Structure 1
């Protein structure tokens, strides 16, 4: 171009002023803003006539910060300038594109969204990425993370490095999003296109060091340097001058570099049990691996940045005879409102056991179970109405089991504000609904259940259905997970029969258990001024089910706590009930005044302050029945596959269907399933006709079904 006030010709003159269309006068400039003599020249020269000076606009302090682009073969735009911290903001002269670099959390990402214009999801993933050189090996194609910005537009970005082999380093966004449920709720309800801004809590030196390290690692990657640290997120602690590496695992189901249909094929595949000899028949159950082996194999899933679980820590206030550990938020509790979020933040996933290793393993498995049971967007669905699907579909009322009277009085039930007693709207058979395939173990065929009954979600489903954790289980193998999920169904079904009918059950003879752990719990509770007893709740399935209870003696309120357990071995069922009861003991620990419980659940607080054995006599053992160890007629096996076959026959004999959904996540590889048996009861108040009224009569515990008006209206709050 030719300058208006000079005869020089150069391809590197200052460009045309964008606002006026006039050319700027000045010396020829190089690409980096210097004259040919090596001296810096201003962006807009004032040497020419006054009419050629462009309009003023905000400028950075001198000298401006610059981040250069990569070589011409990979550059996608001009250099992008960023402000120094504390000097204010201005619009970038060029849009952010894959050829430009930007440190994570740098100005312009969230606190001032007008400063950047992110690329389209098809060209750049939730990452500040660089365009690789032509000599680079294939890498994971960038892709926006689904579900993070329901309003579209700008989205939060997370840095990612790629290795020589596709998928060596995967995006960390899904893991980080799982640790920031409160921010996601604010983003959704405030209608923000990006994450909610937060006050800057850093010094300029720390931000600059992080930016320089990020730029250095990017340059090394472009130069072909590969090392193990590139598959990790590094955290720089400027207070202690230390760095922590948080590994980033590959995502086999990544929609860009992996197999996006992997989860769908896994869900639709038949569930075929294989031989799994029992390696551990002590402690908490019959498993294919010991608790220590489980920790060694899956301990890498615990990480505060890139892990599924932030950490595993011992629960506060636990007595010395209780082993209880917490492992992050309980994703089974939705966060569609502020009240739900607060309840979910208080309700943590947890694990219990006879030993600390057992409890840590239990906490790890429960957290992974909740994570795997959350909908991620790659699950197979069929959208159609129940009426159009035919016999392959299972009606949701067969699983939820609300009575017609509850549905007609749903406003009164929901007015209590209890999420345990919530009654949804009646299901419309002609309304299009999302359905997910499940495998029928009894019929060896595929069935369909509403997706919203199978996966936890952040938003309430349009059909009014909501998933719960009943039947969800993780295990050392798929067979182990199936058995644990089925045992939970048996346990809660038996609890519902006892609790809502107020049945008097025989006591479990704790002396005959001959178990050091049982003696330890009884001694510890006695020192704390509490009494312990157990009830035999075994139902028509013949699998031992135990309820363990404890109350404060010699004072009011009695603060009754309870826990439940089911297993083929009655001694293990008793242990499970005692360990679950122990999880509630810190909430009613000595020294509390009855108004400051560790758990804020209204149902639990009301129960602890008012319930006594005198006004709830079904909590006490049946005086007419002799105490025995929990009985059962389930045969003993040495292989988990034989147990699966046996429980399948139990369900078939009772005219029910054993349905299994494989929820194992390919990137975790820890087996997780959801087991559903339509007709079996949840221990929440659901009063449809069926087992709740028929089984107590069939077992001889009642002479006739309990009238609806006489059912126990207090929900089980465990």
Structure 2
């Protein structure tokens, strides 16, 4: 890391309607990485749009059950009107867990999902698991790690699972220049390690300006290599700095106190296990073994387009906790309630009525 604090923003100017202009944001530890990251986000969103040539099948789950994954395994919103006889749109993906083609709901793949009629919607579309890479395997790994990260962070954040503060003097040398720059710019940096029922740890970084606590951000990173997880959490936390959104709701949730309390246990960074190898295929297989341990099935949908030079995929996984979108029906997975009990944080499973959701600082 060179220690600079900067970001890249790519603006797409719509040739049809100015209201459809879009911004794409990049992060990284060098200027080139900032720009490349913003471009990659643009490629991902472009490839995720529905196109006229997409091979979409309209059918009910009852009609395609032998070839399809039941939509309920992806956790549908509370109060959904979905039923197995409802006709929805499907697209082919490939189950990495079973090694065979499978049909998955198109609503979970395309972003934005624009069906001919609204009754084909079963969830609010998002970008979770949408990823690109230098090759398809790299894209698959990136997307799968994002699914795992969002699952871990969502379950941990809204269940207030305990985290361990990483001892500052044990942090890797690669991150010290950026940490030094943040300190000189007046920021307090809190770094934690969290865990769920998956073997992989995630890193959470909370940044707060000493002179103005409303200027803050929080971000997390998950990777087989803890150093890369920390780099991702740090650079995204920087990317989310002012203008800060959602501060008030997040502040009122008690989250800042949670991240700045001296009550957390501590841990050495070098005690975090590194599962990564230099072989992407082996890294994917390691992630698949983690998914198998919680009976999750992993599916890849190829969204690559001939006019984009990088492969793009949408990764999906059953049983994982989706991201939660405030002011929309919640998608609370079985694991959301089971993990705190499994870890011994709670003695019994909570009810959905007991769950409180708040906006996360820095995210819209």
Q: TM-score, normalised by structure 1?
A: 0.46
Alignment-derived partner of residue 396 in structure 1: 71
1:505-533 CA-to-partner distances (Å, cap 9, x unmatched) read 111223212325x3333333334433111
Of Structure 1 and Structure 2, the greater strand share is in 2
Q: Cα 1:676–1:353, aligned 2, differ >3 Å: closer, same or farther?
A: same
1:6-36 CA-to-partner distances (Å, cap 9, x unmatched) read xxxxxxxxxxxxxxxxxxxxxxxxxxxxxxx
Asked if the contact 2:164/2:265 (under 8 Å) is kept, the reply is yes
SS at match of 2:241: helix
Distance 1:505 1:330 in 2: 42
Distance 2:192 2:147 in 1: 18
Alignment-derived partner of residue 433 in structure 1: 88
Is the aligned partner of 1:580 residue 2:213? no
Alignment-derived partner of residue 161 in structure 2: 503
SS at match of 2:344: coil
- How many angstroms does 1:568 deviate by? 0.9
Q: Cα 1:397–1:327, aligned 2, differ >3 Å: closer, same or farther?
A: farther
Is the aligned partner of 1:462 residue 2:122? no
Alignment-derived partner of residue 373 in structure 1: 48
Alignment-derived partner of residue 282 in structure 2: 642
Distance 2:343 2:112 in 1: 39
- How many angstroms does 1:700 deviate by? 3.0
Distance 1:329 1:542 in 2: 39
Map 1:482-521 to 2 at 5 A: 482-516=140-174, 518-521=175-178
- How many angstroms does 1:643 deviate by? 1.4
Asked if the contact 1:663/1:672 (under 8 Å) is kept, the reply is yes
Alignment-derived partner of residue 323 in structure 2: 683
- How many angstroms does 1:385 deviate by? 1.0
Distance 1:544 1:618 in 2: 19
Asked if the contact 2:25/2:38 (under 8 Å) is kept, the reply is yes
Is the aligned partner of 1:383 residue 2:27? no
Asked if the contact 1:506/1:627 (under 8 Å) is kept, the reply is yes
Q: Cα 1:392–1:631, aligned 2, differ >3 Å: closer, same or farther?
A: farther
SS at match of 2:199: coil
Distance 1:522 1:691 in 2: 35
Map 1:535-550 to 2 at 5 A: 535-550=192-207
Q: TM-score, normalised by structure 2?
A: 0.86
Is the aligned partner of 1:326 residue 2:9? yes
Map 1:299-314 to 2 at 5 A: none
- How many angstroms does 1:612 deviate by? 6.5
Map 1:38-437 to 2 at 5 A: 321-329=4-12, 345=21, 348-403=23-78, 407=79, 425-437=80-92
Higher RCO by CA contacts (8 Å cutoff, separation 6 or greater): 2
SS at match of 1:558: strand
Distance 2:13 2:237 in 1: 19
Distance 1:710 1:360 in 2: 43
Q: Cα 1:434–1:613, aligned 2, differ >3 Å: closer, same or farther?
A: closer
Larger Rg: 1
Alignment-derived partner of residue 66 in structure 1: none
Distance 1:432 1:481 in 2: 31
- How many angstroms does 1:400 deviate by? 3.9
Q: Cα 1:511–1:712, aligned 2, differ >3 Å: closer, same or farther?
A: farther
Aligned residue pairs: how many?
Answer: 352
- How many angstroms does 1:367 deviate by? 0.9
- How many angstroms does 1:536 deviate by? 0.9
Match of 1:566 among 209, 213, 222: 222
SS at match of 2:240: helix
1:20-60 CA-to-partner distances (Å, cap 9, x unmatched) read xxxxxxxxxxxxxxxxxxxxxxxxxxxxxxxxxxxxxxxxx
Distance 2:348 2:191 in 1: 26
Unpaired runs of 5+ in structure 1?
1-282, 284-319, 332-337, 408-424, 589-600
SS at match of 2:24: strand
Unpaired runs of 5+ in structure 2?
none
Q: Cα 1:713–1:612, aligned 2, differ >3 Å: closer, same or farther?
A: closer
1:119-163 CA-to-partner distances (Å, cap 9, x unmatched) read xxxxxxxxxxxxxxxxxxxxxxxxxxxxxxxxxxxxxxxxxxxxx
SS at match of 1:449: strand
SS at match of 1:354: coil
Asked if the contact 1:564/1:576 (under 8 Å) is kept, the reply is yes
Asked if the contact 1:330/1:349 (under 8 Å) is kept, the reply is no
Distance 2:205 2:233 in 1: 5
Of Structure 1 and Structure 2, the greater helix share is in 2
Asked if the contact 2:226/2:274 (under 8 Å) is kept, the reply is no
